[in-house]
Structure 1
Amino acid sequence: MKYAKLILLYFSFCCFVDSAVAQSIIVDDSKNAQELVENILVNSTCATIANPVASGDNFSGSNKSYGYFNNQGGTFPFAEGVVLSTWSSQNSIGPFIVNRGGGDDRWLGDTDLEQALGLTETINATFLEFEFIPLTNFISFNYIFASNEYQSYFPCEFSDGFAFLIKEKGSLDPYQNIAVIPNTTTAVSSTSIHPFIPPVRTIVGLNPGCSAENESYFGGYNTNASPVNYSAQTVVLNAQSNVVAGRTYQIKLVIADDENEEFDSAVFIEAGSFAPKINLGSDQTVCFGGKTILDAGLTGNTNTYQWFKDGGTTPLGSNSTLEVNSAGQYSVLATLAAGCVATGTINIAYKNPIQKSLTQCGDSSGNATFDLTTLTTEIANGNTNAVEYFETVIDLQNQSPRITNTANYNSASKIIYAKATNNAGCVNVTEITLLVLSTLPAVQKLSFCDNDAIQDGIRVFDLFKDINPKILPVVVSPLTVEGYYLSANDATNRQNALPTNFTSTTNPQTLFIRVENGLDCRGIFEIQLEINIYTPAIPGIIKGTVVNQFSGESNSILIETMVAGDFEYSLDGITFQSNPLFTNISAGIYKAFVRDNSSCGLSFTTVYVLDYPRFFTPNGDGFNDVWLIKNLTIFPNATINIFNRFGKLLKQFNSSNQGWNGIFNGEALPSDDYWFTLKADDRKIIKGHFSLKR
């Protein structure tokens, strides 16, 4: 029995109850069934309510197991609504305190709930039942399931039962439960929605726990700051059902303990969320160029409709249906009776067409004759499909006019459409790009920066790498760039092709590109290359530098820019690289350059990299006679202390001093290792050691 397994566990829990002030819900259990249904749950003129009945705990005094709740502006997700529970509804008021709950074994279960969920021993049932006549074709409401079964290993084995049952009045069919996990028929419970449960040692041994179930719908465990007195709950869930406007339905919202009255549960239903709605169906993806009909699904000569798209305020139609031929979010606003306005929303997407292309040589007018039938077999995709061609999307949608001269279709460069329909009536649309290769299209001007050390408007091009990506129209397969030439005549005759690495001779430089499509068809493109020298960028490009120094071979400079861009970087203004990080930098003074290959702007700044000599040789030969950190004057307040291996201070000097010559108290010190500390202006202390060699 569940009770036997849990009694010891309960007593271990009860000793750790803490107290805290929380913004709890309040519960009013004085309202009757009619008030709960008409004024709180539905509260809409879009439906007629009849014969509301509520039943629950009749054995615990005056407190009821159902009532109205309000979150008092707190954190509970619903501002107000109806609560049904398996104990006194007043016990639902937070905060959460570990408890076993309670009830009465004379308080019976519910046979409709047992039949819907396949249970046999429910007890302590609470239900709210009413008849419902909608003016719309769809109902839904928001709810949260909360339970004290969310403790220890209980979700692996136990759950109270609850259901939202609906059926047409007078029908012999069983109730349908719509309180299910989204896109399934699985009833919502603590066993069907919970996180991973680790092993738990109980009075009868070790329970192995269980893996998570539908954890994305688990709302979390509660604490002594919770607004409700349940150990955990689900996220906000939505129950929904299609209905037929004007028909009478029986609705029964019911919850009960399973097997015994311990560890109670509740369901919280959001006020007003039970209002009828319009179901426009599931979101749709329509074939490219196709149309679809949206239908509010309602009848009635007095109904009025307004259709909108993407939140717009201009109505698209006023009928119960709307023909759609473009993607977007569509909504309908229907006035069904005085004060009854229902809405529905649907998203419409369109499939992208299949992409194909044809290329042909053109005449002097820029037109060419295309044989569209060369694509028919490929578009038909090996089936006995009918393939039809259209000049525009509108022609495709209207199925008229069609292109009839498919074997010799004369056209300039443009996009047309083909529709393939198989024997089953399925449609695929292909977007065909017709490209005409003209002999001499308009001159295209391309700008480049003078990327070598001498800024003279002359540069070296990797023709296929630098220019190919910039040619318009873009050269894609089956087109290829055959070569670059200095004259149209050379390009036409394929003679005197330029080398791949080409040094310009004038500025601007005119070149001719020969483009071929492998079908003995070619086009000659004239381009003009403008070469711009780098000039100071205004505003500047460089944001700053990050210098790692006093680190020997690990010294580095990172150049930071104001914004991202097509930049190159240099520390000498001659050799540039695409990486802003320079490593293995020797001590010295550098000019950091950044050039923008898009605008031909140039910025530079001075960078100091400091380091200390690892040894010096004070032997009077004029080389390395003094230990000195070069360029230290950039830190005017820097102080250096030199020590021997025993920590004795031998020399102290500042950045303006000429260093140390290896003499202490008038005596030349012997060859040995010596240590120093450097305190710079930023108060950072640098430590190191060096050798004196004689």
Structure 2
Amino acid sequence: MNYVKAIFLICLLFHVGSTASAQNITVDPTVTPEVLVKNILINSSCLSIENINASGNPTPGKQSYASFTAGSNFPFSNGLVLSTSASKNAEGPYNQATSIGERILSWNGDQDLNIALGTTTSTQATVLEFDFTPSTNSISFNYFFASNEYQSFYPCSYSDGFAFLIKEVGTSEPYKNLAVLPNSTIAVSATTVHPKINSIIVEGTPKPGCEANNENYFKGYNSPSSPINYAGQTVVMNASTDVVPNKKYHLKLVVADDLTRNFPSAVFIEGGSFLSKINFGKDRTFASDNPVCFGENFVLDTKLNAADYTFKWYVKDASNNYVLISGATTSTYAVITPGTYKVEATLNSASCTATGEISVEFTQEIKSSNTSIVQCDDNTDGITIFNLTKVENIVKNNVSQITNQGYYETLSNAINKTNLILNPKNYINKSPNQIVYARIENAYGCFAIPQITLNISNYVIPDQAPFETCDGDEKQDGLYQFDLNQEVTSKIMAGLPSGLVVNYYLTANDALTETNPLPNIFKNTIPNSQTIYVRAVNGPDCYDIAPVELIIHTFDPPNFEDETLYLCKGEQMTLSVATGFKTYQWSNGDTVNSTLINSAGDYKISVTDTNDCQKTKTFKVILSEPAVITGADIKDFSGIDNTVKIIYTGVGNYKFSLDGSVFQDDPTFTQVSSGIYNAVARDKNGCGISNSFSLYVLDYPRFFTPNGDGYNDLWAIQNIDQMPDYSISIFNRYGKLLKQMTQNSSGWNGIFNGQELPSDDYWFTLLFTNGKIVKGHFSLKR
């Protein structure tokens, strides 16, 4: 059983190895340059080939140019390969261990390649070159680039180079490189086509990575099962160029190593892909973003001599088959309907048939409208300022997909997009009724050119009388606001057609250009008198522009400030202002400059001047009367803290006095000495003095000196005899009663039981019959 399994496994491995080997390309380095070009590369009888040469690896038996054949998983079934090492080394599978290649110091680079790539360091160059004469106007062939530089960080810094160089024979013009990225002049290489490469560390040294570069053209990295022995490769690309029929060209295919001579590269060219074709350019379709414009005279031109060729034109039908176009036998064909077209041009003198093919689609017609702009003229000379952009939607029929590409003074300029009007919003016409041109385009550059006639309005807004108002705020500076709609527009519109819309502007130029329109509530910026401009429009058309004079009258009579007056109760008063005003109107109905009043309140007088400007003054009349003093709050027996607060009634504003001589605003008096007072109140507004009110402020002496000198010998309370009945009890510090006194007592002389009491402090209690009690103490001094 084990023996059978072993035999089966050996057979299986042999089968798998054979299958993998069969997928590798097979390289034949013995093929001559003549065979490589004429039998493998070229597949067109419309090319004349001569002067074929090749050079490469100088090592015998290791030719660096060769033919190859490949299996189904390779981009090309056959072709030729040009390598920077022995061409046989291109055979797969990929072996990273040997990918560094071989360095042959005697194998030089190529100067033409250096010039084309802008370098001086190419080495180990392989060249295949020849002359050819095409019978058509285009050549092309397919290729891809493979390299062992596609590993590690190398594409960030290193790449071998290659180029397909072409120029006309016998000229000194430089070579043109066909091995470039599509729609660019960037040469294809490992540094220009690669994915993102991360930084790595090599033998302890950091090596920086780099971002992806044209990654869409990188096919991928190869594995040990790859059909070729290279680390990575590009996608298949096409090299093509226009040529002139029957002119001789030199084509030089060259690949070379860089200065390191390490990690070889190769270019693989598809066998039979080198074709001489008729080139009509890229497809004119929506998919290619290049359809033919509606109405365009689109002619397919083979650029071949009609006498030398026989032409057949075809178009694809609904089944996707080419159908011969009857009667189309010339070198050109005018396309008027969409479709895919093909031409076959057969050279009469040889078995050469060249073909060309193109797909054509047409855009829809761009609908446009001629229109006019009617503008006003501020000085009737027929020259004014037009905003051409006002009709930008009209000329393109409001189609949002169509764009305005500018305005031009001539049709020729509009067609050629030259001498664009630079400021279309402020264009000054050159003559009355001038025509300018708008260029409108669709997304593909197709255009139409509608006309715009610049007309001058013949309508007139009648001259307007000044619009007057009064400066209605407190500051009479000649600046005040107008409600333009209410105060001005209604008068301007009188007699004009209905439907007009008006706006106002500070200057005539602003009105012409419709810039900086004024707000409806407008406050003049020039005191007293200012001219603004009204613009009336009828839809998009200007009807007329006219000046509007605004006049602001000031009215600031002297001595007209509000007043406050006082009216004594029961009296009358005359209120008056100056004479000479146009009208007077009092709030109580009087219409002269004065009025007689007998009650308090606010009285207003409004006067007008000759401009009917109004000014209002308010008299605030306040009632006043003499006060009536009804009592007093007295704080006495407190020394310097004695106070008196006068109690009164009355609606006036008063000053108060305790002696009728010195008055104060506050009815409360402080630090009042003991004594008898007659309080009065005086009306500040002149309405008289109050009744007199008698009051007493009492206090006791803080000491007495009973030494018989006739001064301060008795302790008694001054003016207490004017008060209701009372009794006074005097005590020593121990509370012993020493003396009692009443209204009939003259005072205490400091004697108790016939004996003079010593100097000391003594206490008293004052008791009024109304229940008020005052206690205190005093000193006896001897």
Q: TM-score, normalised by structure 2?
A: 0.44
Q: Which has the larger radius of gyration?
A: 2
Give the structure, 1 or 2, with the largest relative contact order (CA under 8 Å, sep 6 or more): 1
